[in-house]
Structure 1
Amino acid sequence: MRLTPLQIVGLRDPEEGGWSRLRTLQYAGLHQMGLTRTIAHLLAAVIALGLFMGDVPLWQILIWLVTLGLALANGHRIDRSLADIGRRSMTREDFRRQALGVAACAFVWAFALTLFAPHGDSGEQLALWTLIAMLIAGSTATMSAAPIGAITFATVAGGAAALNFLFRGQIEFAAAVIAFLAVAIGGTLTAARTYLSARIAEAGVAEKDEVVSLLLREFQENEADWLWQVDVNRRVRSASPRFAYALGSEPDTINGKSLIELIAGESWASGKFAPSLHELTQMLTRRENFSNMLVQVDIAGGRRWWELSGTPITDSKGNFAGFRGVGSDVTEQRESDEKIAYLARYDTLTGLPNRLMLTEALGEAMRYADQWKTSCAFLMVDLDRFKSVNDSLGHQIGDRLLAQVSKRLQSVMTENEKCGRLGGDEFAIVIRDAADKDRIEKVATTVIKALSQPYDVDNHTLYIGASIGSAVGPRDGTTVETLMRNADLALYRAKDDGGGEYRTYEPSLHADAEERRRLELALRHAVGRNELLLNFQPVVSAKDEQVVSFEALLRWNSAEHGFVSPGKFIPLAEDTRLIVPIGEWVLHEACRHAVKWPSDMKVAVNVSGEQLLEPGFSESVVRALADSGLPANRLEVEVTESIFLRDARTARQALEEIMALGCSIALDDFGTGYSSLGYLRKLHFSTIKVDRSFVQGAAQGSRESLAIIRAVVAMAQSLDMATTAEGTETKEEVELVRSLGCDKIQGYFFGRPIGAEEALELVRKRRIVAA
């Protein structure tokens, strides 16, 4: 072993091999001699007491004995703590504690020399030194596993003895002690070197035995493995039947042939080998061991993957004689691993990179931007109106549509951009170098334009769009998570602005997101805190302008946010599904107030799609009517045509159950969304409400709006349904919709939304005037 004394004792790291590895080999058996060393020290202590008892004050002897006992107990405890060193690595803290434990014991004996020697004669002093010399010799013999401890004990205790002799003028004895210490320390180093060499050799043999046993066991248990051997010219020798079978040949036909030629296949003639074959050739040329090398081979059975391990062999004279090793066919495992790796990084529906791969690409782009002091960008793309397609035409059509979207997205990408699918109808784009800010906007507008073109899917012409939000790194975030979150905030703003838009991240978006979060939290407690209230807007007859019903409109007076616009909190309630408990509260409150009105007056309650599709919605209507005592024919449920796009069957079933109770159904916002003619044929609505946009357009002379209102009125009359014109604000608009044949009118001209008591008072006044 080429180890210096300092490297052997552990005070310097070895040039080869780890410090911890060597110390582990040394100290693994130290605990076995701990009890022996303790007994030796105790026996020496008894002899020392016999020499000086009566000469040294008893209290000094007791103090020394207690100190020695504590030092020995501490040393024994430290040795026991190292009992598991064979199962773990030795640490420098373990090394330090063991050395300090031995040093403490040595100082106790050094203290004995200083304390006891003045009370005895020369013979007793020599006897005490003899005891300590025996302990030093014993440490040298028994602590070869921990040489730092033996050297520390010898240095401290022996040094104290040499100084004691010098102070007494006994120079010859001091010299003898120093010579003894030199011999003891030299012996310790020699014994430690021998012990460590033996331990290293044992570990090496054990490791080799373990490797050989493992290889033999794996070879015997796995019949697919084979042995192979080549000579110095890399030609096959002593081909085993299994190896020949793996090559698709007979042993006699492959013996003597080049191994590389046999497994290179057609590439042998051209010399264009697979990279793994080049690596195998280099290992054979350099005569180096290799293990579990994955090699691509072309044999009679086609392209396969082999896992090869090999080691150089020598002849009886020590000359290189070739290679011997084992191999196995791992083609199926390789293909399975490749498939798993693909599924882990690519979206199976679109073939685009998935969220994991996009995250890695963004991280790489950010590192590139940091290195070259440039910028990168992350764009989040959300499809507009995709959910309607998915709900109305089914998930199969939706999946085919997503496949076409992915192809269009890929077609507009360059080498500087990578697109992928985050999930659902969300996609993303990573721009590696975004130093040109106009480039980001150009990519976004190109994507929006490309994705907004019509799609032809299974004879359906579909129109969707895209909204995009972007964030630029490192300006808008220095981590992947921050950049993705900020791009999402920008996308949310684009969706809020109506969709089909591109928005960039702004710091103020965090404030908007925080406001939305706080608003949602307050809305969750709005019912319990009695912050919600109902207003009622009158609906009058077009003939005599008498109030025939009221539409219940929800308002929110938050203790934290004040009056919140319905246009702000209603969409939030629908997004968070809070609309379900809130809608049930509205239904009960509306019925409770309406029961106080005249018996011929109805109350209209708006119901969202989330409510209608909730299991047991009809039961909640029954409870509201039963709790309030309101007759079913006085409750009118208003729905929009969008409810039929999500789950038409469930929506139709729920409405039929409500109609069976005697309630009437009104179709709100007719004509502003999707075609409802099929639903008008299947369900008998009591009222069709003409949207205010058509009323205002007709008042401004729009021919299209006039035609739409006339068509709706004519259709409703033929289906025995009433029509209500919404949004009338002037006398001219009232006269216009009356002339067009609308049955009922609703708008600010006849009254704004008012409280329940005011609504009741309004009914009384109008009835008195009419009478």
Structure 2
Amino acid sequence: MRRARFAVSDGDRINERASVKDALTFDLRAPETIDDENLAAQRVAMFDLAPALLGATHLVWGLACLLLHPAAAGASLSDNPLVPVVAALLFDGLAFAAIWYRDRTRVPPRILSWGLCIYIGISGALWMAYGLSLSTSSHAPGESFIALAFGAGLSAATIVSISSPPVAIVNALVAMAGATAVSRQPEVLAGITFLAFVNIAYSVAGARTVLTNARARLQLEAQARKALQFVDEFENSGRGWFWETNNLGTLSYVSQQLADDFKCNPEDLLGRQFTDLLSVDSGSPDSLREERTLGFHLSARFPFSDVIVRAASDEDIHWSLSGNPLFDGRGRFLGFRGIGTDLTEQRRSEQEISRLARFDSLTGLPNRALMRQTLDEALRNATNRRKGCSLFLIDLDRFKNVNDTLGHPIGDALLRQVADRLKLVMGDHGQVGRLGGDEFKAVLPGTVETGLLESLARTLIEQVSRPYMIEGHRVVIGASVGVAIGDPGRSCADSMIRNADLALYAAKAAGRGKHCFYEASMHSEATDRQVLENDLRQALERQEMTIAYQPIVRAASEEISGFEALVRWNHPARGPISPDKFIGLAEECGMIGKIGEFVLRSAVAEAAQWPEQVRIAVNLSPIQFNDPHICDTIAAVLADFDFKPSRLELEITEGVFLADSDATAGTFARLKSLGVRLALDDFGTGYSSLGYLKNAPFDKIKIDQSFVRGAASTTKRNGAIIRAIVTLADSLDMDTTAEGVETHDDLFLIRELGVSQVQGYIFGKPMPAEEARELANSSRVEADGFQCIREPRQRLMRRAIAAINGRTTEIRLRNISAMGALVECDQPVTPGDSLTIDIVGVGPVVGAVRWAQAGKFGVQFTEHFDLARLSVKPPKSNDVTMLRPWYVGQGKVAS
């Protein structure tokens, strides 16, 4: 119950009177609160001189006994009355030392209180022994002296113990015991007992009062310290300050912050009139009201709050003041006391917020909201003047690549320079603003001439496309512009923005770096695009999408290496829709994830039925790649079909590197941990392919078909580019696949350059799953294509003989051109072998084997072969005698 009582709040204990039990036990028990601990230390301090008082009493009566009866000093120890006196003096000294050095020894107050009780008891007992020794000594000084000595000791002990009830109780017990031992008279014993209880009661009452008052004082002091701490924290926080005036209006207290505003010390402001430091903010809309409020309340001595004033200083400082009048108990006015808040930074912030709400913080141009307001005002003005208004929407080309490769600080600096160029181009023709990111807008009030608008658009694109130098980097970007012209009185801001946006989309679709004026047909195109998007969202549910498989063939052996899964959409009304048209739409509308998972699952399900050595390649769009759950999706598909991860090849374009590098690297690491293969698709068409190869764990490079088609032409550099890519891939231990191979000449060059795999119409177009399954099981495919983009070739078969591996062998030549031919032969040959071929009726030609497989090989002639030689007619005899050629040695003819 005691702990429950002491658990109440400090506020409740201030007016709580200490109980009798509390008074009796407080000095002897361990303190339960910090305040009780401090109070216990203060109560112990009351006994600092108690041993000295008792010691002085003992010393005086001991000396008196010695002076009055000198013979007592020579008495025996058992009969000497000075022995108890000397012992009492020793205890007095020990008690005095213990109390005096308590701080050094760190003795708890309750231990000292217990020691005082013991000390009073022993001291009383010794004094009682002193009295008894006097009464029985042969040198007794007399009963009156004994009575006075006993009474003096009891009085001193009573004085010492009266402030502590436990000590008073011990003293009372000693007094009653002494009275019993010295006097046998019941009247004396009763009197001593009565006085002992009176002393105890008085001590308890006094202790209760002292404890109650002391606790109240300690609580008030704690509250005062807390209040002072709050004041200090409030002033030091910079959120406000305090002020106080006397009845004459002069400052009697100011905070440091107020003095800092005047660049002086607080003492310099004391004694000055408070109103001298203030001037009402005349710029405030409510300045008159506030001036009257402040003046009235100060003169009428009424409280006021949140009055905005300006400091009488050279700087623009504003305060918000609140104050209350002070009166004493008799109603006399003592002055004002209040708080102030510095509104300077708040007003600056409000002005900055207002500016930021209307202007772009990076470029300083008007932002989207202000540009919309400008367009609305321009259209209203156009209606009044009956003159139209034009709108430019400007989008920067390749700006994202600058941010991703050079960093956002370079991108921000670039945007600032672009803003400066746009303002120079527009001049007085219109207002330029930034909508956000790399999008800008220009409003041209009153300008509707197509020629001027077209000239401004071309100049704008030209100026924005000029190179920039930023921190040592040469940066080149472009711009696309959509233009919309508003008719006076008929156009609204929303329609103009929509029209300009459609025109901008058309400019981008036209190849970027262009400008387009809005045309009514753009609405139908946008509508058609929206309808197509809605159809695309239902295409999977309607099972309108299928997967086609295009073979990937090993260049050297023409064996099937794998297939690429390609999605096809057969629209019920539009028929087949090109992937170039709906894949981009799927990425924009958010359907690419579902379509990609459909392709992945369908392709893996089909490939699970193929031979183990045949892989399946699936395209992974940048949006799919950046999906944080893509690795889990791929792992689930592989597990569902028990498909070996190394048979799955994910084709990834360079677009994935435009995302965050840390996330990209993490995705690559998780994909590789699955065991799948990674291929860099459309290699060479991006901006930083070499950097991608260095950082990403690709297993294959797919050479874009723009480098492959027509590579055999002597007028192009494609061959040199392919050779460089193959060399790079070999150095990085990567495979290579040439896409878009359609002709034998291109195939021949691809093989000669050392490309690992070939993909193109020459080995097969994308085919249904059934045909792909059959082809996969056959494991071999023959090249079948045109000989276009090369010299004319003779398709008729010609017979010839050649020495192969030391034996004369009859061969057949097909697709003979000026550079080479396809040879059908049962004898095995090795690429690089040199051969001399004797064409029947034509003569010998020299060439080298470039590729070989079972039953056929390709030969490249050392010198240009004249196809006109093939026009010579062979002999008409039905049988042609094959003679031994002149170049075959006698010893090398097979028997």
Q: 1:570: Cα distance to partner?
A: 0.6
SS, match of residue 750 in structure 1: coil
**Counterpart position of 2:552:** 539
CA distance in 2, matches of 1:631, 1:331: 70
**Counterpart position of 2:821:** none
Which residue of 526, 550, 556 corresponds with 2:563? 550
Q: Aligned letter for 2:622?
A: G
CA distance in 2, matches of 1:648, 1:331: 44
Q: 1:716: Cα distance to partner?
A: 1.2
**Counterpart position of 1:519:** 532
**Counterpart position of 1:362:** 375
Q: 1:551: Cα distance to partner?
A: 0.7
SS, match of residue 348 in structure 1: coil
Checking the alignment, whether the CA contact within 8 Å between 1:392 and 1:646 is kept in structure 2 is no
CA distance in 2, matches of 1:701, 1:405: 43
Residue 749 of structure 1 pairs with residue 781 of structure 2:
no
Superposition TM-score, scaled by structure 1 size: 0.57
Q: 1:722: Cα distance to partner?
A: 1.4
Checking the alignment, whether the CA contact within 8 Å between 1:247 and 1:300 is kept in structure 2 is no
Superposition TM-score, scaled by structure 2 size: 0.50
- Are the structure 2 counterparts of residues 222 and 696 from structure 1 closer, same or farther at C-alpha, using a change threshold of 3 Å? farther
**Counterpart position of 1:665:** 678
Q: 1:340: Cα distance to partner?
A: 2.8
Q: 1:697: Cα distance to partner?
A: 4.9
CA distance in 2, matches of 1:768, 1:409: 59
Residue 245 of structure 1 pairs with residue 283 of structure 2:
no
- Are the structure 2 counterparts of residues 337 and 620 from structure 1 closer, same or farther at C-alpha, using a change threshold of 3 Å? closer
Residue 509 of structure 1 pairs with residue 539 of structure 2:
no
CA distance in 2, matches of 1:707, 1:679: 21
Partner deviation per Cα, 1:44-85 (whole Å, 9 max, x = no partner): xxxxxxxxxxxxxxxxxxxxxxxxxxxxxxxxxxxxxxxxxx
Q: 1:469: Cα distance to partner?
A: 0.4
CA distance in 1, matches of 2:686, 2:372: 38
- Are the structure 2 counterparts of residues 241 and 560 from structure 1 closer, same or farther at C-alpha, using a change threshold of 3 Å? farther
**Counterpart position of 2:669:** 656
Q: 1:683: Cα distance to partner?
A: 3.5
CA distance in 1, matches of 2:429, 2:348: 30
Partner deviation per Cα, 1:629-681 (whole Å, 9 max, x = no partner): 22112111111122122123322322232223222111111111122223323
Residue 626 of structure 1 pairs with residue 639 of structure 2:
yes
Q: Aligned letter for 1:454?
A: P
Q: 1:512: Cα distance to partner?
A: 1.4
Partner deviation per Cα, 1:302-338 (whole Å, 9 max, x = no partner): 568999xxxxxxxxxxxxxxxxxxxx99876654443
Q: Aligned letter for 1:452?
A: S
* Aligned ranges 1:147-296 → 2 under 5 Å: 244-246=276-278
Partner deviation per Cα, 1:117-137 (whole Å, 9 max, x = no partner): xxxxxxxxxxxxxxxxxxxxx
Which residue of 698, 702, 713 corresponds with 1:689? 702
Residue 421 of structure 1 pairs with residue 453 of structure 2:
no
* Aligned ranges 1:402-481 → 2 under 5 Å: 402-474=415-487, 478-481=491-494
- Are the structure 2 counterparts of residues 595 and 244 from structure 1 closer, same or farther at C-alpha, using a change threshold of 3 Å? same
Q: Aligned letter for 2:660?
A: D
After alignment, is 645-654 or 410-419 more displaced? 645-654
**Counterpart position of 1:396:** 409
After alignment, is 453-462 or 358-367 more displaced? 453-462
- Are the structure 2 counterparts of residues 346 and 683 from structure 1 closer, same or farther at C-alpha, using a change threshold of 3 Å? closer
Q: Aligned letter for 2:278?
A: A
CA distance in 2, matches of 1:430, 1:441: 14
**Counterpart position of 2:582:** 569
SS, match of residue 391 in structure 2: strand
Aligned-CA RMSD value: 3.4
Checking the alignment, whether the CA contact within 8 Å between 1:346 and 1:352 is kept in structure 2 is yes
**Counterpart position of 1:597:** 610
Partner deviation per Cα, 1:188-209 (whole Å, 9 max, x = no partner): xxxxxxxxxxxxxxxxxxxxxx
Q: Aligned letter for 2:525?
A: D
SS, match of residue 596 in structure 1: coil
Partner deviation per Cα, 1:250-283 (whole Å, 9 max, x = no partner): xxxxxxxxxxxxx99xxxxxxxxx9x9xx99xxx
- Are the structure 2 counterparts of residues 433 and 697 from structure 1 closer, same or farther at C-alpha, using a change threshold of 3 Å? farther
SS, match of residue 472 in structure 1: strand
Checking the alignment, whether the CA contact within 8 Å between 2:464 and 2:479 is kept in structure 1 is yes
Q: Aligned letter for 2:728?
A: M
Partner deviation per Cα, 1:591-640 (whole Å, 9 max, x = no partner): 00111112211111110111111112111111111112221121111111
Checking the alignment, whether the CA contact within 8 Å between 1:541 and 1:547 is kept in structure 2 is yes
SS, match of residue 698 in structure 1: coil
Q: 1:476: Cα distance to partner?
A: 11
Q: 1:765: Cα distance to partner?
A: 5.1
| Number of residues of Structure 1 aligned to a counterpart in Structure 2 | 478
* Aligned ranges 1:660-739 → 2 under 5 Å: 660-739=673-752
Q: 1:379: Cα distance to partner?
A: 0.5
CA distance in 2, matches of 1:603, 1:685: 16
Whichever of the two has the greater Rg, that structure is: 2
Q: Aligned letter for 2:717?
A: E
Partner deviation per Cα, 1:518-541 (whole Å, 9 max, x = no partner): 222222222222121111111111
CA distance in 1, matches of 2:444, 2:697: 54
**Counterpart position of 1:235:** none
Q: 1:560: Cα distance to partner?
A: 4.9
Checking the alignment, whether the CA contact within 8 Å between 2:558 and 2:781 is kept in structure 1 is no
Gapped runs of 5+ residues in structure 2?
1-241, 246-271, 289-307, 321-340, 783-853, 856-895
**Counterpart position of 1:207:** none
Q: 1:550: Cα distance to partner?
A: 0.7
Checking the alignment, whether the CA contact within 8 Å between 1:695 and 1:725 is kept in structure 2 is yes
- Are the structure 2 counterparts of residues 476 and 246 from structure 1 closer, same or farther at C-alpha, using a change threshold of 3 Å? closer
Residue 301 of structure 1 pairs with residue 322 of structure 2:
no
Partner deviation per Cα, 1:713-751 (whole Å, 9 max, x = no partner): 111112221111111111111111111111111111111
CA distance in 2, matches of 1:432, 1:673: 41
Q: Aligned letter for 1:628?
A: F
Partner deviation per Cα, 1:386-436 (whole Å, 9 max, x = no partner): 222223444333223222221222222212210001112111000112132
Partner deviation per Cα, 1:463-505 (whole Å, 9 max, x = no partner): 2211110100117961111111111111111122221110111
- Are the structure 2 counterparts of residues 754 and 381 from structure 1 closer, same or farther at C-alpha, using a change threshold of 3 Å? same
**Counterpart position of 2:186:** none
SS, match of residue 525 in structure 1: helix
- Are the structure 2 counterparts of residues 719 and 329 from structure 1 closer, same or farther at C-alpha, using a change threshold of 3 Å? closer
**Counterpart position of 2:215:** none
Checking the alignment, whether the CA contact within 8 Å between 2:559 and 2:781 is kept in structure 1 is no
Q: Aligned letter for 2:454?
A: E
Checking the alignment, whether the CA contact within 8 Å between 1:522 and 1:560 is kept in structure 2 is no
- Are the structure 2 counterparts of residues 520 and 767 from structure 1 closer, same or farther at C-alpha, using a change threshold of 3 Å? same
**Counterpart position of 1:486:** 499
Gapped runs of 5+ residues in structure 1?
1-220, 225-239, 249-262, 265-273, 281-294, 308-327
Q: 1:549: Cα distance to partner?
A: 0.9
- Are the structure 2 counterparts of residues 305 and 487 from structure 1 closer, same or farther at C-alpha, using a change threshold of 3 Å? farther
CA distance in 1, matches of 2:616, 2:674: 15
- Are the structure 2 counterparts of residues 222 and 711 from structure 1 closer, same or farther at C-alpha, using a change threshold of 3 Å? same
- Are the structure 2 counterparts of residues 510 and 672 from structure 1 closer, same or farther at C-alpha, using a change threshold of 3 Å? same
Q: Aligned letter for 2:375?
A: L
Task: Looking at secondary structure, tell me which structure has more helix per residue.
Answer: 1
Higher relative contact order (CA 8 A, sep 6+): 1
Checking the alignment, whether the CA contact within 8 Å between 1:388 and 1:646 is kept in structure 2 is no
Q: 1:247: Cα distance to partner?
A: 5.7
Checking the alignment, whether the CA contact within 8 Å between 2:383 and 2:489 is kept in structure 1 is no
Which residue of 565, 574, 584 corresponds with 2:597? 584
- Are the structure 2 counterparts of residues 658 and 477 from structure 1 closer, same or farther at C-alpha, using a change threshold of 3 Å? farther
Q: Aligned letter for 1:246?
A: L
Q: Aligned letter for 2:483?
A: S
